[in-house]
Amino acid sequence: MFIFKSPPPLSLYIHVPWCIRKCPYCDFNSHAAADDLPEDAYIDALLSDLDSELPAVWGRTIQTVFIGGGTPSLLSGNAIDRLLSGVRARLPLKPDIEITLEANPGSAEQERFAAYRDAGVTRLSIGVQSFADSSLQALGRVHDSNEALRAARAARQAGFDKINLDLMFGLPAQTVEQALADLQTAISLTPGHLSWYQLTLEPNTLFHAQPPILPDDDAKWEIQQAGQSLLSAEGYTQYEVSAYASGGNRCRHNLNYWRFGDYIGIGAGAHGKITDGGHGVVTRRWKTRHPRHYLASAGCDSCIDGERQLDAGTAIFEFALNHLRLNDGFHLDAFESASGLSRERLLPFVQAAVTAGLLTQQGDHIRHTETGWRFLDDLVACFMPEESEHAGDGKH
């Protein structure tokens, strides 16, 4: 039975679906941009889309905003200002709100970053991927290593003290030494946050159809172990599979996803998850993916590409899928407040994972073992409902 009292914290995700060109490994909803981006029309569409979401979140305060993509840094400072002013006019924002914007070094300049800051952006996330020109070329990136360095410095000079750098490892022909050199360079730029992803070959990408030669599993494991030691020695604590932060710099927006919090999703292909506390219903909803169709339909019913209410089995699975990515595990009362289900529904799954040596339970605190952390997919599979209705999360 669902037992909702009050819904979980609420975030806002805003998707910008254009990039300078499509990277061959990327399965995000991003499309090569024409020269004249319809940015005014897109901001209007985003705000109409937000208007249509308001009845579902009446009276609730937004804790974090994430403007992701695609490449949001293709938008001008004016466009971001109009967007955030429109958001503020429609929804109450938490006073010390975190507002992140994703930037690509190929479209980064100090003046533009300063305008984003003036508009209210508090955190920049820069997609560096690597500081080695050979790796950047192999990844089909539009920027070189100098531009990546310049972007990180420009963010600091524009006054941002919350900066994330995205790096990937396990790149074509990459050695352990090269992967560590990328991390060293990133650390020398003193970002408070580093996202360090292993390159994956996603279906429907060029790399999936024509796979490059990647380091083998042993080499990737060696890179991961050495990189984690380096990050830890430099004061970066791993708090999620791919996320490392120094001091109080954990990403509050992503933490809300991983804790199975609520979020409104606006923009082409954006996904949302909203809990109706009164009726104990969790609804996922996603918008039409193609920018042209989105522009024509935002705010109307035809903009909604799909919607589904989570049954109990799916809610348990999705809670585990997200929460088990976090280093510090979870408490059973967090399960009850985020899923609206009683702990008795979860415990048989936990017990099976404990018996398999993948989880430990101390009182109400559930955490993975070392084996569970290494074989996270096996651990998450322990929470799979018997008749799965899981259709993929498809976050931004």
Ligand X SMILES: C[S@@+](CC[C@H](N)C(=O)[O-])C[C@H]1O[C@@H](n2cnc3c(N)ncnc32)[C@H](O)[C@@H]1O
Q: Identify which of residues 10 and 74 has a Cβ nearer to ligand SF4 in the complex.
A: 74
Site string for ligand SF4, 103-122 (x = CB under 6 A): -x------------------
Q: Is 291 in the site for ligand SF4 (CB under 6 A)?
A: no
Q: Identify which of residues 57 and 103 has a Cβ nearer to ligand X in the complex.
A: 103
Two tokens, residue 86: 């429109």
Q: Is 29 in the site for ligand X (CB under 6 A)?
A: no
Q: Is 216 in the site for ligand X (CB under 6 A)?
A: no
Contact with ligand SF4 (CB under 6 A): which of 4, 13, 28, 207? 28
Specify the stretch interacting with ligand SF4 by CB under 6 A; choose among 23-31, 55-63, 112-120, 232-240.
Answer: 23-31
Q: Identify which of residues 194 and 350 has a Cβ nearer to ligand X in the complex.
A: 194
Of 341, 265, 340, 345, whose CA–CA distance to 7 is shortest? 340
Q: Is 197 in the site for ligand X (CB under 6 A)?
A: yes
Contact with ligand SF4 (CB under 6 A): which of 11, 63, 64, 71? 71
Q: Which does 340 bind (CB under 5 to 8 A by kind): ligand X, ligand SF4, none?
A: none
Number of residues that bind ligand X (CB under 6 A): 17
What minimum distance in Å lies between the beta carbon of 23 and ligand X? 6
DSSP-assigned beta bridge partners for residue 237 = 245
Specify the stretch interacting with ligand X by CB under 6 A; choose among 7-15, 19-27, 84-92, 151-159.
Answer: 19-27
Q: Identify which of residues 23 and 366 has a Cβ nearer to ligand SF4 in the complex.
A: 23
Contacts of 34 (CB under 8 A, 6+ apart): none
Contact with ligand X (CB under 6 A): which of 127, 191, 265, 372? 127
User: Alpha-carbon distance 171 to 200, whole Å?
Assistant: 9
Q: Which does 22 bind (CB under 5 to 8 A by kind): ligand X, ligand SF4, none?
A: ligand SF4
Q: Exposed, middle or buried, 230 (CB in 10 Å: 0-12/13-18/19+)?
A: middle
Q: Sign of torsion, CA 390 334 371 345?
A: negative
The answer to whether 280 touches 4, Cβ cutoff 8 Å, is yes
Q: Residue 344 is which amino acid?
A: E
User: Alpha-carbon distance 364 to 341, whole Å?
Assistant: 15
User: Alpha-carbon distance 129 to 195, whole Å?
Assistant: 10
Site string for ligand X, 30-69 (x = CB under 6 A): --------------------------------------xx
Q: Residue 170 is which amino acid?
A: G
Of 144, 210, 199, whose CA–CA distance to 167 is shortest? 199
Q: Is 2 in the site for ligand X (CB under 6 A)?
A: no
Q: Identify which of residues 182 and 262 has a Cβ nearer to ligand SF4 in the complex.
A: 182
Contact with ligand SF4 (CB under 6 A): which of 8, 15, 30, 282? 30
Contact with ligand X (CB under 6 A): which of 4, 13, 18, 25? 25
Specify the stretch interacting with ligand X by CB under 6 A; choose among 90-98, 193-201, 270-278, 323-331.
Answer: 193-201
Q: Is 168 in the site for ligand X (CB under 6 A)?
A: yes
Q: Is 206 in the site for ligand X (CB under 6 A)?
A: no
Of 233, 234, 259, 231, whose CA–CA distance to 243 is shortest? 231
Q: Identify which of residues 23 and 194 has a Cβ nearer to ligand SF4 in the complex.
A: 23
Q: Sign of torsion, CA 320 323 327 329?
A: negative
Contact with ligand X (CB under 6 A): which of 18, 28, 160, 286? 28
Report the 3 state secondary structure along 95-153. Answer: EEEEEEEEECHHHCCHHHHHHHHHHCCCEEEEEEECCCHHHHHHCCCCCCHHHHHHHHH
Q: Is 312 in the site for ligand X (CB under 6 A)?
A: no
Binding site for ligand SF4 (CB under 6 A): 19, 22-23, 26, 28, 30, 69-71, 104, 127
Binding site for ligand X (CB under 6 A): 19, 25-26, 28, 68-69, 71, 102, 104, 127, 129, 166, 168, 197, 199-200, 202
